[in-house]
Amino acid sequence: MQIPFKTLLEINKQSSLPIYVQIANGISQNIQSGILKTGTKLLGTRQMAELLEIHRKTVVAAYDELYSEGWIEVFPKKGTFVAQYLPTVKPVEFSIKQENTILEIPNLSIAQNAIIKIPPVITHRLAFNDGLPDIRLAPREELARLYAHYIKFGDSSILQYTNPYGHIRFREVFSAFLNETRGMNILPQNILTTRGSQMAFYLIGSALFQKNDEMMVGSLNYPAANMTFESLGLKLNIVPIDEDGIVVDAVEEICKQKNMSGTPIKAIYITSHHYHPTTVTLKPERRIKLLALAEKYGFYIIEDDYDYDYHYANRPVLPLASADRHGLVIYLGSFTKRIAPTFRVGYIVAKQEIIEELAKYRRIMDRQGDTILELSLADMLENGTLKRYTTKALKTYRERRDFTCDLLKNELVNVIDFKIPDGGMAIWAKFDKSISLMKLSEKVSKKGLYLSNGSAYEGLNACRMGFSSMNLKEMEEAVAILRTCI
């Protein structure tokens, strides 16, 4: 009987799977299904190649693959046949099945971490998130083109291990960019790349501080930063905040008290540009005094400038790092807000001794960053792609901020109290006490809208309402759902 190999073996020349592997897989699958029985003679490599309209070497490679796996056997002067004794494809059991029991071994018990909370994964079509960019606006085509270029045509060294500081070209380009746009005076050796701000917190906390060291944070603060520092054993001293951000006079009082008790403050963490969560910008006079206090009492300022580029009222205020002359400011940020959260490139800027120490911890934590992504971003910084995108996004997000604030004022004026933010991607919203934010979050979720339940800011019945990731039509729909549920 003539076996219809051309029908049995489907070849997709557009597939990323090599053709010889497709042929080998097709023959082995037909053997397992019983279509090709033990002892069946296969076509010679030349005949099979002519039948399938491919090169003979491709068929030879497929037959070699099948022979190595034991599916076929070759007899000189006779031909190639389906093997008499086929390989066993049934998985080998790891151990004898037993009833599921929990074996208590004290030395191997898992300590439950009560500090770290896993954030929710937002899958809703509409979302008042924490303040994230609209990935539909991101320059994905340009980034994909550059990334593919480096994979295909880049020097082979970029596919090897590199140093944990980050690729030198990215650090050269980015240091020049920060000097130009942030008023800094840094060199490439003052930069360490990270997988985002979260890694930066962990590296800084691990490398520069010891368990039970004292640091300061605002009474309302970025929860993920607090979790990181607390999990490393640092003691957090809470500084009050007001309508202008962190109260610097209170910082001085805490420093005096701690010095008297013999446990000096080692650092303060701030989000200086758009305070998280309230979005206010720390005024220049407070920045000057905070720098003076850091010099007087000898503590580090960890400055998280997470969305510097998105300021709507006027030009952004330069970061504290631009006025630091003593290496006391550790400046960090990421490209998350500029492009999309999935692109994990962040950075730490500090004096060289600190960067060198941080790199040691980076070495044992994650070895190095994404070299190709760093090179792609360097190109986009140099050729102006990121600047053009940011300018366009800034205009779009300002429009969305204004539209959202008008909607909330018109539709929910007696329910939500907020101030129009000067910058950033979210509104700090306080809900009327008659409304349970926890229950409201559950209600809107069932209608396809994400809204934080406010648990991160206990007792305030408040949350951040991100406006940048929804267009105007989606925002109308989101506010309508919110109004209906309230």
Query: How many residues appear in the chain?
Result: 486
Q: Give, as one character, the DSSP assignment of residue 95.
A: S
Average pLDDT value over all residues in the chain: 90
**Residue whose pair of structure tokens reads 């029985």 in the numeric block:** 37
Instruction: Indicate if the pLDDT at residue 469 is higher than 70.
Output: yes
Q: Which helix (H) or strand (E) covers residue 300, if one does?
A: strand 300-304
Does position 96 have pLDDT exceeding 60, yes or no? no
**303 close to 276: Cβ distance less than 8 angstroms:** no
pTM of the model: 0.78
pLDDT of residue 244: 85
Average pLDDT over residues 294-321: 89
By C-alpha distance, which of 163, 157, 126, 153 is closest to 451? Answer: 126
Instruction: Identify the pLDDT of residue 332.
Output: 96
pLDDT at 89 over 70: no
Q: Where are the alpha helices (DSSP H) in 383-471?
A: 385-411, 437-446
The pLDDT, as a whole number, for residue 101 is 63
Spatial CA neighbour of 250 closest among 280, 216, 281: 216
What is the average pLDDT across 283-307? Answer: 94
Identify the CA nearest to 332 among candidates 298, 308, 353.
308
What is the Cα–Cα distance from 47 to 50, expressed in whole angstroms? 5
Tokens describing residue 426: 């979210």
Question: Residue 99: pLDDT band by 50, 70, 90 thresholds?
Answer: low
- The pLDDT of residue 13 is 85
In this predicted model, what pLDDT tens digit does every residue of 392-439 receive, in sequence order? Answer: 999 999 999 999 999 999 999 889 999 999 989 999 999 999 999 999
Q: What is the pLDDT of residue 102?
A: 62
Residue 369: closest CA among 195, 213, 221: 195
The two structure tokens encoding residue 274: 């758009």
pLDDT of residue 306: 86
Tokens describing residue 343: 């692109």
Q: What is the pLDDT of residue 98?
A: 57
Query: d(Cα 277, Cα 220) in Å, to the nearest integer?
Result: 7
**Residue 166 in tokens:** 């980050």
Q: What is the pLDDT of residue 382?
A: 93
Q: Closest Cα to residue 35, out of 16, 8, 12, 55?
A: 8
Mean pLDDT confidence for 362-366? 92
- Residue-wise pLDDT for 128-172, tens only, equals 999 999 999 999 899 999 999 999 988 888 888 888 999 999 999
Residue 103: pLDDT band with limits 50, 70, 90:
low
Least confident range of 95-99, 376-380, 445-449, 453-457: 95-99
Q: Which residues pair with 235 in a beta bridge?
A: 214
